[in-house]
Structure formats: structure tokens, C-alpha cells
Amino acid sequence: MTNLIQMGKDAKSASRVLATLTTEEKNAALHLIADEIEAQADFVLAENAKDIEDGRAAGLSDAILDRLLLTEQRVKALSDDTRSVANLDDPVGSVMDARVLPNGLRLSRRRIPIGVLGVIYEARPNVTIDIAALSLKTGNAAILRGGKETLRSNIALAKVIQNALEKAGLPISSVQMIDNPDRAIVPEFLRLDEYIDMIIPRGGSGLHRLCIETSTIPVITGGIGICHIFVDESADLEKAVDIVENAKVQRPSVCNALDTLLVHPAVAAEFLPQVAARLAESKVELRAAPKAFSILKNNEDVHPAGEEDFDQEWLALILGVKVVADLDEAIAHIHEHSSEHSDSILTNDFANATRFVDEINSSAVYVNASTRFTDGGQFGLGAEVAVSTQKLHARGPMGLEELTTYKWVAIGDWHVRK
């Protein structure tokens, strides 16, 4: 039976050890994890294959199965990403700012680990390695709770991590996996405020709502992407087709994939058939609002949009399409429907680009680029623990700095307050 309190105590104890490690010691542990991933690749893939088999038997969609799937290439990427994190600058111990007060007291803010992270995630076993690597690099311990669909894969990866930690001479409780798939354990986990310092949920809106309403621990929410691209009247339409295809098709099951395409009426009649033809090659289903549907109604994979279709994170080869009157309506639509994850404008009009950037307050705002770049690796942060869409503490891909806090350090010359 899972003893969450003991796991919390062990994690808190481990976090105190990790907080004192040098950068070299942390990097050595990360390289050992990368080596162990490669050495145990066959074991990890075999366990993942069992999860995939169970997922197919349970009738999971192809999009979800793709999120579950580990391949030789993806396992190799896990080890490469872990080494990349080792090569990043260590934020712990860095001085954020320093000054001397009028009384001579030297005051600074120094980055320190948060302590113990509790991370709840669904469907993606790669998250296990990403979180472990970022946590260790920043001197944090982590307790992980993955989805039941990837239980075997996550347990296998946790064993790989703990084997490497043992070789590094570090507490194996630095990274722990909850191996009980019962959802009833989650509320108990969310109340371990005596041991866990921050909860990070990675999953659907139901999980986020559960964490916000139940947790007695601070929660960083994010990872739900209802992402938009607006093609204005000045856009290079040929290049715009390429960007829309990339944003929708490259990996449709992830949070930064495109969900809604907005198009200016001046280019809609020319652009929409082009993009529909391109997306049809990848069997993308279009859910079109009335004006867009009138242009595309003869296409086989186009259907009228339903009332809630513009509030969907599709995570599949489905795309909402709407013709909007102008930039004002595009911005208003995004304000109403966006999850503030990633939104983009395709334009050659500097004024339109500037307005879009100024008025859209998503965690990542793009001009003439695919939304697929919202990613810790793409942003040069290494792996990411989540993409935060809230406004406090961390926003966008959460890399190393976002997993630290700070303490004030005051150095005096035998100062007393007068």
C-alpha cells in the first residue's frame, strides 16, 4: 500500500541533501541517468509496449496512443535531453541583484531550490525524465504521479532514475513515483503541504480544477492549449499554408498544436481552399464557422462547427476554422476562447503585428511563426516541467529558473537596527 506520508518525509529529507550539491555533482548524476536510460532502453521499451497494448484494448484514440508511445528514437531523445540539461547553466546560488543600503548593510537575493515538487501528469512517459532532470539540476526532490495508461512505463523509468541516483551516491528518494493508479489517492497527495512545496498538474481541465479546488499546496497550472493562428489580409499565403500545416500536423497530440485558424475575409476565398487541400493530405477534419463553411463546403473533410468547437483543445487532427471581419474581431475571439497558451499572427503589416503582440497576453505570442515552438527545448531552456498559463511566479515553458525561488542574504558589519 502506498504510504504518501513516508514518501513526503523521504522527499523532504532528500531535498536538503540536493540543495547542498555542487553543480558538478548534479551534472554527474544527470549523466549517469542518461547512461542508464540507454543501458536499460530494451527494458523501458518492453514495459511501454505493454502499456500500448492495454491502451489499444481499452479503445484509446490514435492521438492518445501517440502520446503514450516510446520508440527507440524517443528513448534516445530522453537521454540526449538529460545530457542537455546537464550542460545548462545552474541557476542555484546565482545572485539576482545586490546593493549596499545607506547604513552599510550588503543585501542580495540568491536563487535557491523550491524544495519538493509534486507533479501529476497524464499520458506522456517522457515527462518522468524531463521532470527528474530539471528537478535534480535545480536541487529539488520530486514525487511523481503519472496516468494509469503509462503506469508500467513510468515505473520502469523511475527505476532507471533511482538506479542512477544510487550509483551517484544520492538518495533514491530524490525522485519517487506513486505506483498506485487509484485516483482516490490524488486528493490525499494534494494535502501533503507539510512535505511538498509546489504542485504542478499536467493534464486536462478536470485535473487542473481538481488541484485548484483540493490542494492545500500552491499550484502552478498550465499545459492546456487552445491555440490560435490569425492570417491577416497582408500575409504571405504560401508561407502561411506551411505554418498552419506545421502547427496542426507535425504533432497534433500536444498542447502547443493549433486548434483554431482565424482568417481575414480579404484573403479567405483564396487562402482557405489552399490550406484545406494541404491539410486534407494529412486527413485533418475541419470544423468551419458559417462564412468559412460556405467557402469550403464542397470539401469532404469539412463540417459545420458546433457551439463548443472553438473552446476545444483538440489534441487530434481536427481544426476549427473561422473567417473574422478584421484584427479587432480576431483579438476579441482569442480573448474569449484562448487558454492563454500560444497564439500567432501571420502578417506583413507591422502595425497589425505590434497590436497583436501588445493585446494578446498568452504565455507565448508569435509573429509569423508556428505555435509549435512553445517548448522548453525550443526556447533554449532544456527540458520543461510544464507550460504555465497562469500569471504568478512562472509563465510559459517552465525550465530551470522557474523551479527556483530566492532568499534574501544580508551581510553586516555587526549591525544593529536603530
Helix (H, G, I), strand (E, B) or coil at 342: strand
The amino acid occupying position 364 is A
Closest Cα partner for 326 from 389, 268, 372? Answer: 268
Question: What is the per-residue pLDDT across 262-299, written as a single tens digit (0 to 9) for each?
Answer: 999 999 999 999 999 999 999 999 999 999 999 999 88
Structural domains of the chain, with CATH: 4-220+398-411 (3.40.605.10), 227-373 (3.40.309.10)
* Residue 187 predicted with pLDDT over 70: yes
Closest Cα partner for 140 from 17, 227, 243, 255? Answer: 17
Helix (H, G, I), strand (E, B) or coil at 201: strand
Q: CB-side exposure of 332: number of CA atoms within 13 Å?
A: 8
**What is the rounded average pLDDT of the residues 395-413?**
91
Q: Are 264 and 348 in contact (CB under 8 A)?
A: no
Mean pLDDT of the chain: 94
Q: Are 322 and 312 in contact (CB under 8 A)?
A: no
**What is the rounded average pLDDT of the residues 62-74?**
90
* Residue 52 predicted with pLDDT over 90: yes
| CA triple 289-233-267, angle to 5 deg | 55
* Residue 223 predicted with pLDDT over 70: no
| High-pLDDT (> 90) share of the chain, % | 81
Question: What is the per-residue pLDDT across 226-263, written as a single tens digit (0 to 9) for each?
Answer: 999 999 999 999 999 999 999 999 989 888 999 999 99
Residues 6+ away with beta carbon under 8 Å from 100: 106, 107
* Cα separation, 280 vs 300, whole angstroms: 9
The x, y and z cell numbers of residue 216, run together, are 492545500
Strands 342-346 and 227-231: parallel
Helix (H, G, I), strand (E, B) or coil at 58: coil
Reported as a pLDDT band with limits 50, 70 and 90, residue 1 is: low
Name the E strands within 242-354.
Answer: 258-263, 285-288, 302-304, 318-323, 342-346
Handedness of CA 355, 356, 360, 361 (dihedral sign): negative
Model confidence, pTM: 0.82
* Cα separation, 233 vs 356, whole angstroms: 14
* Cα separation, 226 vs 362, whole angstroms: 10
Question: What is the per-residue pLDDT across 99-138, written as a single tens digit (0 to 9) for each?
Answer: 999 999 999 999 999 999 999 988 789 989 999 999 999 9
